[in-house]
Structure 1
Amino acid sequence: MRENSILMNIGMLLEMAVSAGDRAAVTTGGRSLTASELRGLARAAARRFRGRPAVLYLGANHPAYPVALFGAALAGVPFVPLNYRLGEEQLSDLRSRHPGALELHPADLDALVEPGEPGEEPEEAPGQAPEPDGDAVAVLLYTSGTTAAPKAAVLRHRHLLAYVLNTLEFASAGVDDAALVAVPPYHIAGLANLLTNLYTGRRVVYMPAFDAGEWLETVRREGITHALLVPTMLARIVAAVDGDDAGTPTLRSLAYGGARTPRPVLERALQVFPGTGFVNAYGLTETASSIAVLGPGDHRKALASDDPLVRARLSSVGRPLPGVEFQIRGEDGEPLPTGETGLVFVRGEQISGEYGGRSTLDEGGWFPTRDRGRLDEGGYLFIEGRADDTIIRGGENIAPAEIEDVLLAHPGIVEAAVVGVPDPEWGQRLVAVVAGDGEPEEIRRWVRERLRSSKTPDTVVFRARLPKTDTGKVLRRVLQAELENTHA
């Protein structure tokens, strides 16, 4: 694909969708846009965007989102969806990084999806539009910043097209297929869901704001066949189900990802959605969405197996997508044998690994995900947390994820995070921050009985809830700052 990517632009996905038949492409609040209507609006938006250094999108899920995305692509302008939920100071900082950019605020969105606006410029000749360039910047996405300040990941047209074209079949969806998108538009999953569903011909149904009860009602009302959730959303939906069946017979596929999913939540979800195929999707902003998946068959097989190695795969993120390679390396940079835990590197056409013109790919094209993980003999990838999260206690590297899994299996705990705070004797001391019920000593004993004593939290701190991003990732830097002031 790389040889021809220089002539490609994600706008071609919209053209392909129109060629496959003019059916509904996007639905919000009972209103739908067909693929051709979406193309017409995107072309009008492109005339408005052309010449700007970037287009900033500061709204929720809305039909204007795909119009703005494709309008920017057709205009040859980077599209930058920002987290509109941030505080004014944080949002102002991000906006200041794009001087001269056109900003689309909530009040601007309805006008963007109205055809034939007064004063609209006439259709331009094809020669006036920029030539498609696969190496041009398509989207700038700010990372969630769980351990550091957010930075803009650069996704070029060729990265996004490689992900879509290498992993999906064009126009493969059934005429009644519909995908419910509740993840925010400034997350890589929101972007990827639009591109992949448009390419396969599946109607996208947007939820402007997530609510567990409304999500279930929307699945039933719209006949939703596919959906993607982050773990916090899945947990709330499972809790909202009354009984042992969610009552969503049309839902064939439910993907989850963006953060670690507590095993009890997943097992309950498999129970209440008995006819649904589950997909665990692992990816990063810098990898243009998913790079590994654990498919429906893997989920059911692992859940039903008596083999501990197979059953353990329910906690994995599956195997690499086509065109993607994984490598596990030690601290010295050398590849590790199967089964050993180290740093996860990934390589493939869809991998960007670029921030503001600076590539982090090594000479072999490998991207350091900064996740710690291991591969089993079947090629299944197990993620054990971020390298930055590793706690060094008495010279031993401890992955918080292992302890957190044990804590989340406790019947009284609903959220858990383990961080290290400075300690004069051990270097770092383990502090478990939990939401739920229980006694500190009883919780410590629970962990000690399942892990060795060196991995038992020295301190257990209770919170009403843990600070998280919109996609369910624990904001460890917030907890770290709090605990270093109170428990160091």
Structure 2
Amino acid sequence: MDFWSPDATPVSVVAQARAWLDGPDDVDLVVATSGSTGQPKRVRVPRAAVLASVRASAARLGASGPWVLALPPSYVAGVQVVVRSLVAGHEPTLLERDGWPTGDGWFVSLVPTQLTRMLSSEPDLEALRRAHTVLLGGGPIGASLRARAADAGVHVVATYGSAETAGGCVYDGMPLDGVAVALGEGGRIRIAGPTLFTGYDGRPDLTAEVLVGGWFLTSDAGRLDEDGRLVVIGRVDDVIVTGGLNVPGPAVAERLRGHAGVSAAEVLGVPDPEWGNRVVAFVVGTADLEELRDWVGAAHPRAWAPRQLVRLDAIPLLANGKTDRQALLALVQVGR
């Protein structure tokens, strides 16, 4: 059943999900990737994979129950919220229509941008304190954001996954039961297990590139910490090769977000005739380039410091809350 539609609404997706769960078990769920780096792909996920994800998530969280839909309903994270709630026997709460539940012990999935804003809103914060768990995924999760949430009494679990893995399949760095995680060349993250997709709709060529020997080869790089937990460094192409050095863009962006004159930041590599690629900082805030170069250089090698600053009123986002990388690159390409 195709959940990807520009006309999808929370109400229509709930109805679709209920019909899909009650219908033939050989009908795949079809959702789109975010398209953050280009054209979205239509991902086919079998019902067995979705239900395996639902069961493994509930087992890891130690509970199941009603969910609040606060994400776009046609992407995998939003569909999973709906399915988890229905499987647990509860109609999902639609945040746009219904507001927050009045009771406690419910669940919600958010992206970092949403959580950041909600922690600054007293009504939202009061509601999140009543949640059993806030699943947080869909983008880099800084230590400072986790600390703010913990200090505010909000229970957050960081998730990693994608449409190809039926949503989050690694919680706080540890794979869900049945899921295997390994690192390939250059730290490229590979995932296997019962939650994998069957392929990209109509694109067997792309499917063959990333589904190899029962493993899904992601586009992300990672490492394992001393406790064996997966630490996601960023997309493989987030490593900016500049002047012969490898600069991890997400690490630079996280450092920039800690500056008092920065409220939001992203870092990308842009082709440059001298450096091969130059490190460009896209920043919401008042800090100037030299301030930010010094700030980065105080914590990391000076060569990691951005060579260009693009000031913005807001970081452009896709409908699912992820950074619109193509929009950022277009700003530099048109000479802004």
Query: What TM-score do the two structures reach when normalised by structure 1?
Result: 0.62
Alignment partner, residue 470 of structure 1? 319
Distance 1:449 1:226, change over 3 A: same
Alignment partner, residue 47 of structure 2? 157
What is the Cα deviation at residue 68 of structure 1? 2.0
Alignment partner, residue 234 of structure 1? 115
Query: Which amino acid counterpart does residue 459 of structure 1 have in structure 2?
Result: Q
Query: Which amino acid counterpart does residue 92 of structure 2 have in structure 1?
Result: V
Alignment partner, residue 213 of structure 2? 364
Contact between 1:264 and 1:408, CA under 8 Å: does it hold in 2? no
Of residues 2, 6, 13 in structure 2, which corresponds to 1:65? 13
SS in 1 for 2:145: helix
Distance 1:353 1:261, change over 3 A: farther
Say yes or no: does 1:265 pair with 2:145. yes
Task: Give per-residue Cα distances to partners, 1:357-395, cap 9 Å, x unaligned.
Answer: 523454421111110111123221111111133211122
Task: Give per-residue Cα distances to partners, 1:212-246, cap 9 Å, x unaligned.
Answer: xx95xx24x3546322211111011111138xx73
Say yes or no: does 1:142 pair with 2:32. yes
Alignment partner, residue 253 of structure 2? 404
Query: 1:335-374 alignment to 2 at 5 Å?
Result: 342-352=187-197, 354-357=199-202, 358=204, 359-360=207-208, 361-374=210-223
What is the Cα deviation at residue 69 of structure 1? 2.5
What is the Cα deviation at residue 54 of structure 1? 5.7
Q: What is the distance in 1 between the residues matched to 2:159 and 2:324?
A: 21
Query: 1:115-130 alignment to 2 at 5 Å?
Result: none
Alignment partner, residue 207 of structure 1? 95
Distance 1:55 1:154, change over 3 A: closer
Q: What is the distance in 1 between the residues matched to 2:262 and 2:80?
A: 33
Contact between 2:149 and 2:155, CA under 8 Å: does it hold in 1? no
Alignment partner, residue 322 of structure 1? 177
Q: What is the distance in 1 between the residues matched to 2:296 and 2:129?
A: 39
Q: What is the distance in 1 between the residues matched to 2:3 and 2:138?
A: 25
Q: What is the distance in 2 between the residues matched to 1:443 and 1:267?
A: 23
Query: Which amino acid counterpart does residue 280 of structure 2 have in structure 1?
Result: V
Contact between 1:60 and 1:208, CA under 8 Å: does it hold in 2? no
Contact between 1:324 and 1:348, CA under 8 Å: does it hold in 2? yes
Query: What TM-score do the two structures reach when normalised by structure 2?
Result: 0.88
Of residues 419, 442, 456 in structure 1, which corresponds to 2:291? 442
Say yes or no: does 1:254 pair with 2:203. no
Alignment partner, residue 34 of structure 1? none
SS in 1 for 2:10: coil
CA RMSD of aligned residues (A): 2.6
SS in 2 for 1:195: helix
Q: What is the distance in 1 between the residues matched to 2:3 and 2:170?
A: 31
Contact between 1:345 and 1:368, CA under 8 Å: does it hold in 2? yes
Q: What is the distance in 1 between the residues matched to 2:199 and 2:274?
A: 40
Mean Cα deviation higher: 143-152 or 160-169: 160-169
Distance 1:208 1:61, change over 3 A: farther
Q: What is the distance in 1 between the residues matched to 2:306 and 2:298?
A: 12
Alignment partner, residue 189 of structure 1? 77
Distance 1:449 1:66, change over 3 A: same
Identity of aligned residues (%): 30
Contact between 2:46 and 2:197, CA under 8 Å: does it hold in 1? yes
Say yes or no: does 1:286 pair with 2:286. no
What is the Cα deviation at residue 73 of structure 1? 5.4
Contact between 1:232 and 1:471, CA under 8 Å: does it hold in 2? no
5+ residue gaps, structure 2: none
Q: What is the distance in 1 between the residues matched to 2:181 and 2:305?
A: 32
What is the Cα deviation at residue 355 of structure 1? 0.6
Higher relative contact order (CA 8 A, sep 6+): 2
Contact between 1:162 and 1:349, CA under 8 Å: does it hold in 2? yes
Q: What is the distance in 1 between the residues matched to 2:129 and 2:265?
A: 33
Alignment partner, residue 303 of structure 1? none
5+ residue gaps, structure 1: 1-52, 76-131, 295-317, 332-341
What is the Cα deviation at residue 248 of structure 1? 5.7
SS in 2 for 1:208: helix
